[in-house]
Amino acid sequence: MDRQVRIEFDRMDERQIKLEDKLVAHVDDLILDEIKADPQTQRQYDLLRTIPGVGPQLAAYLVAFTDGLALQHAAPTLLPCRRGALERSSGSSVRGRTQVSHQADKSLKTLLHMSALVSVANPASYASTTSANVPKARSPS
């Protein structure tokens, strides 16, 4: 490929990426405006954001997915997320890695997984909450 053509394609790619980033930011702003319109939803969103590792996308998704974190609806709504690792097997032989069920909400599983990775990468963010709950190991006497 000619060098000039390659440079022009790179410029077009950069412009497209900037445009996509602006569109994503605009959609994020629209979602936040919708959350801020209702005080109850705003409160729930803010409470979710106080959890270490829960970002704006996960908090907004959980509020929307569980219908405002209504406790009577939250458990049945989150049950599809539990449909996790399935083993591919035939009789006694196991074939390959485990897979996510086709019935699972894969976008929610991805958001929860990424949130867990962020929390593990930043142990200081959850150390204060877990240190009080984990009993100290006794030294052997």
Q: Over the stretch 84-124, which tens digit does the pLDDT of each residue have?
A: 555 666 666 666 666 666 666 777 778 887 888 887 777 77
pLDDT exceeds cutoff 80 at 58 = yes
In a domain, 110, yes or no: yes
Residue pair 113/126 in contact (Cβ under 8 Å)? The answer is: no
Q: What pLDDT is recorded for position 78?
A: 54
In a domain, 47, yes or no: yes
In a domain, 132, yes or no: no
In a domain, 90, yes or no: no
pLDDT exceeds cutoff 70 at 129 = no
Average pLDDT, the chain: 76
In a domain, 55, yes or no: yes
Confidence class for position 79, pLDDT limits 50, 70, 90:
low
In a domain, 138, yes or no: no
Q: Is 101 exposed, middle or buried (0-12, 13-18, 19+ CB in 10 A)?
A: middle
Q: What pLDDT is recorded for position 26?
A: 96
Residue 103 to residue 113: CA distance in whole angstroms:
17
Among 28-37, 52-61, 109-118, top mean pLDDT goes to 28-37
In a domain, 94, yes or no: no
Number of domains in the chain: 1
In a domain, 127, yes or no: no
Residue pair 125/53 in contact (Cβ under 8 Å)? The answer is: yes
**Residue range(s) defining the domain that contains residue 42:** 3-81+99-121
